[in-house]
Chain A
Amino acid sequence: MMDPDEMDLASEELVRRGYSRDLADDIASRLDTIELSPDGKWVIRDDDNKIIATIDPV
């Protein structure tokens, strides 16, 4: 389970990497379960199972 501070930090990190605030927040709220791409990146999907981001670990 993620705590609020954990999620805030992840979101801030994503904003630093250039993601919009909304997308960063959305990604951060999905990090308790993740998918790994073959090259070790985290694949993030929305509620419709569509990939919304492929990121380096946060």
Chain B
Amino acid sequence: MPFQEAVDTLDLRSIIGSTMNSAEWSAVPVGLHNRAYFSSKVASVRVLQRSRDDIRDFLTSARGVNEKGETFLKSGSRQAFVKRMQDLAIAEGMGPLVPEDAGTVRDFTSQTRQELIWDTQVRQAYDQGDWMQGQDEAVLNEFPGQELIRDIPVKEPRHDHAQYEGVVKLKTDIAYWKRINQDFGVAWGPWGWGCGHGVRDVDRAECERLGLIAPGTQLKPVVEDFNAQLQASTENLDPDMQALLKTALGNQVRIRDGVARWVTNQGNSTADLPPGAGQPEPAAAPAPTPSPVDAPAGPSTASPASIPVRVNPVSDGAKLGTTLTDIGKQAVQHALRQIDRVHDDGKLPPILIRRLPAKASHTKQGQYIHGGAAIELRQQNARRPELTAVHEIGHWIDELALPGSGFSSGDSPALAEWRKAVLGTQAVRNLSDNPHYAAKPKHRKYLLRPRELWARSYAQYVATKSNDPAMLAQIAAIRDGTSGSWVDSHWSDSDFGPVREAIDKLFATLKWL
């Protein structure tokens, strides 16, 4: 069972590549620092993405299925993570800058460095997750205090922490806990680089005996207060700090009116952030231009949904095959995360997601094989991997999860309202009637098939409901005519509204939301 709060905290971190060292990173406002997945002097976003995905796989106990149908734990141990990342770092030529650093913590290819990354990231996720759980009002009032204790013996204990050992303070005393954590500036562990301290929960009776809380007093969680502090740290930045951030981080950070935010376009989470706190902005999508026959597409105004607890997430049924490349896996995992944010699926039977066979046309992006046999996705030169993955998953849901027999989109009464909505859109009317499309009747016929209308509208539904920048940019590219797809194969925001409502109603009826 994954420790969801720990996974959530990792998902909040934008992947930021930079040549900054640890000392330089420590100068970055904590609201940004705490929302970044980075490693000292590592500029490769791709390598960091792999590192974060491996840690995430561990935290979620993610499993894959190989081509023989055998299930395996994707990231089962610190040792396996270290080996994989060492191999990747060596393949990427990320060895030490000077020979004397070889094998030390300054060498990204070294075991020591990768172990440090694992320990820090896993511990940060767990400790922040613990803190979040401890801020639940019922828990907080049952165990209002905590005590700094030594968890792990270290070679060189930090003298500045000795004064705090054995002291009990309320969990709501953010200032006190932040004072201990000078390195990371947060109210939870790890409490500093090379620190072996942890915390022990202290119950109400002991806190009352110590005079920390009066009998009958009810504490309120301080998550919002803490987030406000994180947010404040990213505001009113002085010009020197703004210049430093722009120089060191380039387009990964956006500063407007003295407020800094991450800008991300990689496959990490951008939704579900608490208010403020360096919340990333989506990378700029290609500027939409009006189509000749429809309203202009624009960026979605959907607000990010919170992460609901999924009883039967779609990702449970998706088994990633070993023929997928790392980048291909990341695209699928990203797609699945967005789907999980949006809805459950009842209980889909498992499906293998694998590479599109080499024999398939070199322009083919993906396909769904009937009966839930497989989803096959292009791995090289994929045009829109995330959107394609969701589109093909849409076929899987259509055939095996929606009520009805076969592909339900065609004639299931449960989808009557969706059919009415989608056939009433301007985009579909254009596909049917606009002479512009008459030259390619087979493509028009294909695009107007109910199952294809369903898969495309499902993909756009997931993209807009999750407010996912990657997929929204891919749809924007279709809508502005730069993708090779027909402009009217997807919908403008306004045109899509009734379709989105119909799918919302359908999924609500199925209790998938």
Contact = CB atoms under 8 A, between A and B. Distances in A.
B370 A2 contact: no
Given A7-B446, A32-B452, A33-B370, A1 B360 contact: no
B395 A33 contact: yes
Contact of A33 (B361, B363, B388, B451): B451
Nearest to B407: A33
Contacts of A1: 365, 387-388, 391, 452, 455-456, 459, 485, 489
Nearest to A58: B361
Contacts, number: 88
B484 A35 contact: no
A3 B368 CA distance: 15
B256 interface: no
A5 B445 contact: no
Contacts of B391: 1
Contact size class for B? 35 or more
A30 B446 CA distance: 7
Interface string A8-27: 11110100000000000110
B445 A29 contact: yes
B364 interface: yes
Given A28-B442, A30-B446, A56-B359, A2 B395 contact: no
Interface string A33-57: 1111000000000000100000011
A10 B384 CA distance: 20
B369 A32 contact: no
Given A1-B485, A4-B443, A34 B365 contact: no
A34 B387 CA distance: 19
B496 to A, nearest CB: 16
A4 B486 contact: yes
A32 B368 contact: yes
A6 B357 CA distance: 15
Contacts of B367: 31-34
A26 B444 CA distance: 11
A34 B367 CA distance: 7
Contacts of B366: 32
Contacts of B406: 49
A6 B365 contact: yes
A39 B447 CA distance: 29
Nearest to A5: B363
A42 B456 CA distance: 23
Where chain B touches its partner, the secondary structure class is mixed
Contacts of B483: 3
A11 to B, nearest CB: 7
Interface in B443-466: 443, 445-446, 449, 451-452, 455-456, 459
Contacts of B369: 33-36
Contacts of A32: 366-368, 395, 446, 452, 455
Contact of A4 (B371, B387, B456, B484): B484
Nearest to A9: B361
Nearest to B406: A49
Contacts of A30: 446
Contacts of B370: 33-36
A4 B387 CA distance: 17
A42 B324 CA distance: 21
A38 to B, nearest CB: 11
A35 B367 CA distance: 10
A29 B443 contact: yes
A12 B370 CA distance: 24
Interface string B426-447: 0000000000000011110110
Interface in B317-360: 357, 359-360
Interface of B: 357, 359-371, 373-374, 383, 387-388, 391, 395, 399, 406-407, 440-443, 445-446, 449, 451-452, 455-456, 459, 483-486, 489
Given A3-B383, A7-B440, A35-B371, 17 more contacts: A1-B455, A2-B364, A3-B485, A4-B484, A6-B361, A6-B365, A9-B363, A29-B443, A29-B449, A30-B446, A32-B368, A33-B369, A33-B407, A34-B369, A36-B373, A49-B406, A57-B357
Q: Across chains A and B, which 10 residue pairs bring their CB atoms closest together, nearest first?
A: A29-B446, A25-B442, A6-B363, A35-B370, A57-B359, A29-B442, A33-B368, A3-B484, A4-B443, A3-B485
11 contacts: A2-B443, A7-B440, A29-B446, A29-B449, A31-B367, A32-B366, A32-B368, A35-B371, A36-B373, A56-B359, A57-B360
